[in-house]
Every structure is written in structure tokens, then in C-alpha cells.
Amino acid sequence: MGGAETLASLRGFKDLLPEEAFKWRQIESAAHAAFAAFGFHPIGTPLLEPAELFTRSIGATSDIIEKEMYAFDDWDGRKVSLRPEGTVSVVRAYLTHHLSDSALRKFYYIGPMFRHERPQAGRLRQFHQIGVEIIGDASPKRDVELLALLDDLMQRLGVNGLPLTINTLGCPECRPSYRMALQFYLSGQSDLCVDCLRRSAVNPLRVLDCKKETCREAVRGAPSPIDDLCKACQCHFEAVRSTLSDLGLVYTLNPHLVRGLDYYTRTVFELNSPALGAQNAVAAGGRYDALVALLGGPQTPAIGFAIGVERLAALVSFPQQPDLPLFLVPLGENAARRLFPLLFALRRKNLACEIGEETAGLKAQLKRADRLHATYAFIVGEAELNTGVALLRNMRTGTQQTVAIAQAADILPDVCTPVSSSSVIPPRL
């Protein structure tokens, strides 16, 4: 009576329970393998950064900067922010540690991001991204390499055929004339929402991204950046498109695709899943050839993408967490004393096993083994200690075999190891 009320987690912040966490580990495992094959190196950046890092680079009129950053003054009075995304931090790390001097320029990261968005299915305030960045390469081949990597990873995860949409946003040379053309078009539209009326003056590309039906209708006939590309951007985009086709990578061109972050130049893309409802972007990215310079570095082209792990996990189906291969059943204190060292010897050999309570009877221990989905139970009591031989029971079939207790540490790993449970999952970064 009168216990403290259990506190729930914050809205938009979710616990990751073991079954889902196990699926995530498998997704991460596939990602580590794909990134290694494509020559990417892991990188980690802090969750908390100077807020200015993001305000300077993501765009003053972007939703993230206007209303979504978890920014606050820390105890030193410095304005800091939980990272809303990973790209800017990777570029900061690249500059801070002079990584341009090394041969490293392909990076990947996996971790949480924070945006104060309105939570709904597939949209969280703490969500997780698997992201990649290639810094220092302007070739359209890199654009295609990233899209091939995304495709490869989806195939590894059994998520095939998601529609890929691409577009180009031009560069600082051709963007101004497109901006003007778009502004001119928007000035003739009377049905824009209040936000878009403001945006059309300061950042008209944002209007193309508005989700309100009236705005979507209003921009249907808007000009596309493709109409105003300079020669270099035109060549770049054509090379991207033809190489995608050469590789058989299927895409749709959406001439109104823009992104919620302002640092993009040239190629932008999104991978969507109709199965996800309103929040259907599984992955998104693009070129950001001006960002490194914007953050104080030399002019350096770059490109990347990030996958939303929660959204991806909703599309992936894996076998459940593997069953427990072995449960040791000690009947009495002497048996427990004999089985306890065996427990650790087996675990050292990577055989996952648990042990019952010697004070409980056979039935209770087998019930516990069953609840843990144990495949085998190794049952040792006084009689078995005397003969030196004990029963290994297959919990599924009910069949039993005898195993010499003295050889159990060598025999049981061979008998009990399921084929699929041996993959080593690399650590989360």
C-alpha cells in the first residue's frame, strides 16, 4: 500500500526491450558487415555539442533549428544541444582532428539523435540513425556508391524493393536563379499555409517539403531545380543517373524532392516504405559540398545518408532470439557444487547456459528450463555423481542420452550448440 507511483518515460522516448534490442543488434551486425565491405570506418561523436554547430549549418529556417533542438545552457552558461543528427558532428570531428591529412574519408556511425518533434508512429524524440559520410570526393561515382551501399544493406536485411527517389538541388552557382523562379511561382499561390507564406520569402525550397495538403496542391506545378542547373551540376546529375542505370539500381526522379536540412547541394535522395504510413522515409541523404567550408574548413565536397533504425526495424523480420541451448539441473548441494564450475567452463566456450536452483526439485527446474526455451537439460543428482554419468535431455523431443560428467565441458558444446547462434555481434559505437 502507498508505494511511489511508477514514472513513465518521456513522450517520444522509448525503452528498447530485449526482443526488439536483439533485432537491432542483428541490424547493426549486418550494417557493420556491409560498411566493412564498402571500406567505411567507424566514427563516434558526442551526443552533446555546442548548439552553434547546428544553428550554423542546418539552416536557420529549418524545423530542426526553429523548434526541435534540445538546446539549453549548461552549468558553465554555454549554449549546448543534444545532437539532432550526425552529419554536422562528423564534419566537425573531421576538421578538429585534421582527418583530411589521413587516408580516411569514409565514415559510419550508429547512435541516438534527438529532435523535439510531435511524437507519432515512426516519429520519436529520441531516435537512432545508422549514418555514413564520404568526405573529400566530388565524383558522381560516390553518389552511386552510397546508393549501392544502401541497396546492399537492405538486401542483407531482406528488405527489398523499397522505392528510391532522387533529385538534384544544384549548387550555390545555379541555386539563386532557381530560388528566384520558385519564389516567383509561390508569389502567385494563394493557398499556402502561414508557415509557408513566411518560408517563401526566406527559404522557398522549404515550401516544397510542407506536408499540408493545400501546400502540396499549391506546389504541384512549381518549377524544379533541374530546370535551372548550371552545366557542371547538369553533368554531375546525368552521370549519377546513367551510372545508377548501368548498375540496375532502380530509382524515380522526383523534381520536387527537397530535404529538411539546408546544407544539401546537388544530389539528394530518399528511400521510402509505403508500409510505414505517414513517416515513410526509411533513409535519406545527399551531397553537402559546401558544409565543410561553412564550418571553417577548406572547400571540400561530401555526401552521406542516414537510416532511421526504428523505421528500418519495423520492416525487418528476423528469427527470434535463439533459444537457450542448455540448462543445467543440479539436484542437491553436491550436484550444484559440481555443476557450478561446469557452467563457467561451458560459457567460456561460448555455450550459452543457465543453471537451476539446487533447492528446487526436478519438476520445478525443468519448468524453469522450459520457460527459458532451453533446448537441452543436463540433469545431475547424487546417483549421477556416484556413477559419473548423467542424462542430457532434449527438451523438444524428450529423448535422452548419457554424458560422462568429467567430459561434459568438452562434449556439451558440440552437442548443444545451435548452428545459428555462433555469430559474433560487434559492439555498438
Q: Could you say whether residue 129 binds ligand HAM (CB under 6 A)?
A: yes
Rounded distance between C-alpha atoms, residue 51 and residue 251, angstroms: 36
Among 131, 204, 225, 325, binds ligand HAM (CB under 6 A): 131
Rounded distance between C-alpha atoms, residue 270 and residue 263, angstroms: 16
Site for ligand HAM in 297-316 (CB under 6 A): 304-306, 308, 310-311
Q: Least distance to ligand HAM from the beta carbon of 121, Å?
A: 10
Rounded distance between C-alpha atoms, residue 107 and residue 84, angstroms: 18
Q: Could you say whether residue 59 binds ligand HAM (CB under 6 A)?
A: no
Binding mask 242-271 for ligand HAM (x = CB under 6 A): ------------------xx----------
Q: Least distance to ligand HAM from the beta carbon of 103, Å?
A: 20
Nearer to ligand HAM, 127 or 378 (CB): 127
Q: Could you say whether residue 281 binds ligand HAM (CB under 6 A)?
A: yes
Q: Are 313 and 24 in contact (CB under 8 A)?
A: yes
CB burial readout 315-330, b (16+ within 10 A) else e: ebeeeeebbbbbbbbb
Q: Least distance to ligand HAM from the beta carbon of 274, Å?
A: 14
Tell me which stretch binds ligand HAM (CB under 6 A): 167-175, 238-246, 250-258, 284-292. Answer: 284-292
Among 45, 87, 168, 375, binds ligand HAM (CB under 6 A): 87
Q: Could you say whether residue 115 binds ligand HAM (CB under 6 A)?
A: yes
Nearer to ligand HAM, 284 or 342 (CB): 284
Q: Could you say whether residue 127 binds ligand HAM (CB under 6 A)?
A: yes
Among 117, 152, 195, 323, binds ligand HAM (CB under 6 A): 117
Rounded distance between C-alpha atoms, residue 261 and residue 304, angstroms: 13
Rounded distance between C-alpha atoms, residue 7 and residue 137, angstroms: 49
Q: Could you say whether residue 332 binds ligand HAM (CB under 6 A)?
A: no
Q: How far from 299 is each of 53, 157, 168, 294, 310, CA to CA, in Å? A: 18, 36, 20, 8, 34
- Return the percent helix, strand and coil in the chain, to nearest 5: 40, 20, 40
Q: Could you say whether residue 376 binds ligand HAM (CB under 6 A)?
A: no
Q: Could you say whether residue 83 binds ligand HAM (CB under 6 A)?
A: no
Nearer to ligand HAM, 211 or 231 (CB): 211
Residue of 8, 88, 153 whose CA lies nearest to 304: 88
Return the residue nearest ligand HAM (CB atom): 308
Q: Least distance to ligand HAM from the beta carbon of 173, Å?
A: 21
Q: Could you say whether residue 284 binds ligand HAM (CB under 6 A)?
A: yes
CA torsion 241→259→85→123, rounded to 10°? Answer: -110
Q: Are 257 and 205 in contact (CB under 8 A)?
A: no
CA torsion 312→313→318→320, rounded to 10°? Answer: 180
Query: At 26, is the secondary structure helix, strand, or coil?
Result: helix
Rounded distance between C-alpha atoms, residue 33 and residue 28, angstroms: 9
Contacts to ligand HAM by CB under 6 A: 85-87, 115, 117, 123-124, 127, 129, 131, 133, 260-261, 281-286, 288, 304-306, 308, 310-311
